[in-house]
Amino acid sequence: MQITIEKLNYIYLEGTPFERHAIKELDLSIPSGSYLAILGQTGSGKSTLIQLIAGLLQPTSGRIQIGPYSFEAGNKQKMLARRHVGVVFQYPEHQLFAETIEKDIAFGPKNQGLSEKEIAERVKMAMEWVGLPTTLLNRSPFQLSGGQMRRAAIAGVLALLPDILILDEPTAGLDPKGREDLLEMIDRLHRERQMTVILVTHDMNAAAKYADFLLVLSEGSSALFGTPAEVFQKQEELTHLGLDLPDITRLIMRINRSASLSLPTNRFTLDDLVESLLARLRKGEDL
Ligand SMILES: Nc1ncnc2c1ncn2[C@@H]1O[C@H](COP(=O)(O)OP(=O)(O)OP(=O)(O)O)[C@@H](O)[C@H]1O
Ligand SMILES: [Mg+2]
């Protein structure tokens, strides 16, 4: 489902001394099936924006269109759009509550009024997607490891078969291996199930490696938008916005400086980098 956002504004506590204009005149278009990473310093409006897209906050003004559903200040279409959007909040494992993993994951599908058989199928499928063995079905969620608890919580969202999966800092607090596994899992859902993914992250490496598009927010406005290659070319702007470059980009720039080379700085995996260097060699070009 295509997402189109026009002149979106959100003001917290409007008309009080604590008023905060958290999203300002934002325009954004997210093609169906694409992977968007939202970046920006703390307080830049990332979580507010995803709550607006998920229909959990009502725009102060402006419009959000998700597939055929349009919602703006005052109308109720967001209830319809909500069915298509799954949100994984920060530390989602804090929302696990049922006495077994099965019941926890089944909670959403049950509320949608599915049959027992359909619910069981959804639970099994969601566990498979997140890589949890079904032998854990009858365990208490609280007997799982931290990484497994997070997967179980994400499975609960996936069991609703969202077209659009939104994740707010899903890797926070995980060790490097847990982070990588989770990001790979999300990427697989995106590629194999054509799920639109919106990832809020502070991790430039993940944004560069996985996203099709990056949105950099600054004080509620769009500061930069484009492909990772486009956005990470804007080193000065990024520094000004308090954001780093991906490690691989910093490494390539360092090599270029110290060895007077001009290796491409728009490749974000080693495979892509090597591929582009080999292509240059084949054409008889200098590195
Ligand atoms: N419930 C609220 N009431 C009032 N102001 C809020 C509320 N939630 C957020 N804000 C303010 O709105 C602005 C945007 O906050 P938001 O949480 O969207 O930022 P963020 O980019 O997600 O930050 P972080 O990286 O720390 O998660 C901030 O100035 C914040 O203080
Ligand atoms: Mg946030």
pLDDT digits (tens, 9 = 90+) for 56-90: 899 999 999 999 888 776 666 656 677 799 999 99
Q: Tell me the per-residue pLDDT of 226-251, one tens digit each, with 9 for 90 and over.
A: 999 999 999 999 999 999 999 999 99
Domain that holds residue 282: 246-287
Residue whose C-alpha is closest to residue 274's, from 286, 264, 284: 264
Two structure tokens written together for 142:
């609280």
> So what's the pLDDT on residue 76?
62
- Please check whether residue 274 lies inside any domain of the structure: yes
Q: Using a CB cutoff of 8 Å and minimum separation of 24, what contacts does 271-278 make?
A: 273/248
- Please check whether residue 106 lies inside any domain of the structure: no
- Please check whether residue 285 lies inside any domain of the structure: yes
Segment 38-61 shows an average pLDDT of: 95
Residue 16: CB within 6 Å of ligand 1? no
Residue 43: CB within 6 Å of ligand 1? yes
CA angle, residues 193, 145, 101, in degrees to nearest 5: 60
- The rounded distance, in Å, linking the Cα atoms of 71 and 54 is 11
- With 90 as the cut, is the pLDDT of residue 104 above it? yes
- Please check whether residue 241 lies inside any domain of the structure: no
Residue 40: CB within 6 Å of ligand 1? yes
Find residue 85's DSSP bridge partners: 164
> So what's the pLDDT on residue 9?
97
- Please check whether residue 263 lies inside any domain of the structure: yes
Q: Are 1 and 32 in contact (CB under 8 A)?
A: yes
- Pick the range with the lowest mean pLDDT from 3-17, 83-97, 158-172: 83-97
Nearest-CA residue for ligand 1 atom 14 is: 45
Two structure tokens written together for 2:
């295509």
> So what's the pLDDT on residue 180?
94
- Please check whether residue 257 lies inside any domain of the structure: yes
The total of structural domains in the chain comes to 1
- Kindly give the distance from the C-alpha atom of residue 45 to the centroid of ligand 2, in angstroms, as a whole number: 7
- The rounded distance, in Å, linking the Cα atoms of 166 and 183 is 13
Per DSSP bridges, beta strands 20-30 and 3-12 are antiparallel
- Please check whether residue 276 lies inside any domain of the structure: yes
Q: What pTM does this model have? A: 0.93
Two structure tokens written together for 251:
């490494």
- The rounded distance, in Å, linking the Cα atoms of 225 and 217 is 9
In this structure, the chain runs to a length of 287
- Please check whether residue 120 lies inside any domain of the structure: no
Segment 141-153 shows an average pLDDT of: 92
